[in-house]
Amino acid sequence: MGPKGQERMRMELTWIAIISSLLMGGGALLMFLWAVRSRQFRSFEDVKYQVFWSDADELAAHRPSATATEEQEHGSSTQTD
């Protein structure tokens, strides 16, 4: 392979690299547009608090209500004189 053949091969590789990078960039753009249109980023901040919310819900479900606790501390609410 002569100097012209090597230069032609380099140009072919350059065009292959340019085309493949444009295709990958276009694919990334399409994936981003799909994510935005399907509202994948709608509650981005809420996701990090979901673990805490589920723990708080479980605690609230197992905790007796405030009125029941007050009645136990002060006796029955229907006291007769």
Ordered by start, the domain boundaries in the chain are 3-70
State how far the Cα of 59 lies from the Cα of 52, in Å rounded to an integer: 11
Which of the four pLDDT bands, split at 50, 70 and 90, describes residue 74?
low
Q: Which residues contact 80 (CB under 8 A, 6 or more apart)?
A: none
Chain segment 17-58, per-residue pLDDT in tens = 999 999 999 999 999 999 999 988 777 677 777 777 776 667
Q: Are 55 and 63 in contact (CB under 8 A)?
A: no
Which two structure tokens, joined as six digits, stand for 45? Answer: 């901040």
Query: Integer distance in angstroms from the first to the last C-alpha of the chain?
Result: 114
DSSP states of 39-61:
TTTTTTTGGGGHHHHHHHHHHHH
